[in-house]
Every structure is written in C-alpha cells, then in structure tokens.
Amino acid sequence: MAQHPATTPNGRRRIQLGRIGAPHGVRGWVRVFSDTEPPENIFAYQPWLVGDTEMRVVEGHRHGKVLIARLAGCDDRDAAAALTGLAVAVRRSQLPPPQPDELYWVDLEGLRVETTAGADLGQVSHLLPTGANDVMVVAGERERLLPFVWDEVVKDIDFERGRILVDWDPAF
C-alpha cells in the first residue's frame, strides 16, 4: 500500500459521525445516533459540526440503550428539538492520522481509478460495506462496482497523484 501522507486534499472535508435524535428531557439534552465503533467514541471528537453550526459537547454518555448529549448553547427542550435530525460531523483534519496499513474511505472519494493497462475508469464516488468485501463505486462513462481487495484488485493508492491503480477489465 502506498504511504499515506499526513495531510490529504480532503483535510477540510466534513465527515459525518452520526446524527441528532429527539430531545431527552427538558434541559436541552439530545439523543445521539452514532456511526462510530464503539458508539461512545463519537464523544471523543470535538467540536461537532451540527448542521452548519460548530458545537461543543458539554456532557455525553450512554443512557440505557441510547446515547445522550448536552451541547453548549442548547439549554432547553425547544433548543434541543431544533437540532432533531441534523447530522453530527467533524472536519477530516480532526481525525487521527491513519496507521501505515489503514486509510479513511473519505480520502479515497474523488480519486481517479486507472487500470494497470492505463484505462481510466472514472472517480471514486463512495464506498459500500458489504460484509465480505468493501466495494468502490466508480463513476465514469458508466458506474462500476469494484471490490476493494488489496493485491487482487487494488494494486496501489497514490494520494499525491490522486490515483488508485487497479487490476480490472474495463469491459466488466
């Protein structure tokens, strides 16, 4: 795997970590639906971007089967209700650098995908978890679904050149 640079062109991108649910009580607490593993890890990232507003988590923890949080400036049920359904995101630069054998999917989005024979397949639109192998959705003259399998399909990722090299038949 290519060495991952400390900063990528995506360093300022927003990464969604979850969303705000319904208010919890009358003092401004909200339910939080987390996409992090484990779910409580969402509280480790500060500040949150809630909609278009930067907000700090004053308190956050598991409450039974749900996560709840109190956000700075959200002091009553009406303020909490106004946040219902909004995404919880952070800037890409807030995430720790990946280990040498790791990467963030968001860093792959927008990279060109080229075959080992030099054919341009398009750009990575997004990735899908499938259980067996993750799948790159590549948008070009048509949409392609490529299994994200190291050595077998994905041969190299070059962030400096903005390219992913794959062993793939363009006709497929």
pLDDT digits (tens, 9 = 90+) for 99-152: 888 888 889 999 999 999 999 999 999 999 888 889 999 999 999 999 999 999
User: What values do phi and psi take at 5, rounded to 5?
Assistant: -70, 155
The answer to whether the beta carbons of residues 153 and 116 sit under 8 Å apart is no
Q: What is the pLDDT of residue 9?
A: 45
| pLDDT at residue 12, as a whole number | 61
Q: What is the pLDDT of residue 13?
A: 82
* Residue 2 predicted with pLDDT over 60: no
Report the mean per-residue pLDDT for the chain. Answer: 91
Instruction: Give Cα separations from 126 to 39, 85, 142, 143 (angstroms).
Output: 22, 22, 14, 11
Residue 50 confidence (pLDDT) above 90: yes
pLDDT beyond 50 at 88: yes
Q: Which residues contact 85 (CB under 8 A, 6 or more apart)?
A: 19, 20, 21
